[in-house]
Amino acid sequence: MPAPLVIANWKMNGSLEKNARLLNQLLTKLDTLEYLEVGICPPFPYLPQVSDHLSQSRINLGAQNVSAFEAGAYTGEVSAAMLREFGCRYILLGHSERRLLCQESNDQVTAKFEAVLKAELTPVLCVGETLEHRQRGESESVVSTQVQTVLDRVGIQGFANAVIAYEPVWAIGTGETATPEQAQAVHAQIRRILAGHDAAIANQLHILYGGSVNAANAQTLFSQKDVDGGLVGGASLEANAFLEICKAAHPGTHFDL
Ligand code: PGA
């Protein structure tokens, strides 16, 4: 199993001043966590600023969205090649806020996934059910379809350098978290789908949990067998909370940061 992975999703938050302060508080401490991979996904305009800060660090840069297209008349869009030029490694795809607010479909998310692979970057495919789905007992089928649509198009090899983030929509930004058992059940299901095609790829794939991860609940969530780290929104904007979450993901961390 690779080292755990924690990705910060800043969403539409930050300013030049706030970002600099947060990064100064985080970076030297995060670099001491040797067996942890960390990514930070700021809003697009701050990519050069964050990239500069990360240049001497082990932390990877990421972006929150990408166009499915390579170039051309797509006003307001940003291509995977452009994100690569600015040093991005991780690209979030299909975040529920984009699925809901921008009506991104599984097909569009799949096209973006392909664009990210073509640019040799790492897609972070976000999947998850709404509260209505869960209440109707449809969590498994919704998540399966979200994964399967991409799998059908890119094949299992497309997941050899990818990350999946399970983020139940009802747990995002609500303070309500999936129980460790609920998270584990869906993570295991995702891994089973992929293992049906290639066990080695399924076993080395990071499956992150996201949705109100905080300093208090991170440890129990990350201790689940198929939870390989987290995708963290709100708590990633606060240095101490994010450091605690990273510590919780780091195997055998018993030291003060
Ligand atoms: P949250 O967001 O941690 O604020 O719930 C997670 C996410 O949307 O990626």
Amino acid at position 201, single letter: I
| Residue 254 pLDDT greater than 60, yes or no | no
CATH of 5-249, one of 3.90.1150.10, 3.40.190.10, 3.40.50.2300, 3.20.20.70: 3.20.20.70
10-58 tens-digit pLDDT = 999 999 999 999 999 999 899 889 899 999 999 999 999 999 999 999 9
**Three-class secondary structure of residue 200 per DSSP:** helix
| Residue 144 pLDDT greater than 80, yes or no | yes
Tell me the residue length of the chain: 257
| Residue 253 pLDDT greater than 70, yes or no | no
Active-site option among 53, 133, 167, 187: 167
**What is the average pLDDT score of the chain?**
95
Q: Is 177 in the pocket of ligand 1 (CB under 6 A)?
A: no
Region 172-183: mean pLDDT is 90
Among protein residues, the one with the nearest Cα to ligand 1's atom 1 is: 233
**Segments in 31-65 forming alpha helices (H):** 47-54
Cβ contact 62:41 at 8 Å: yes
Give the burial string for 137-164 (b: 16+ CB within 10 Å, else e). eebeebbbebbebbbeebebebbeebbb
Residue 114 is among the residues annotated as catalytic for this protein: no
Rounded to two decimals, the pTM is 0.96
pLDDT band at 95 (very low <50, low <70, confident <90, very high): very high
Active-site option among 37, 53, 95, 250: 95
Q: Is 230 in the pocket of ligand 1 (CB under 6 A)?
A: no
Q: Cα 32 to the chain's mean position, in Å?
A: 21
Residue 167 is among the residues annotated as catalytic for this protein: yes
Domain-by-domain residue ranges, the chain? 5-249
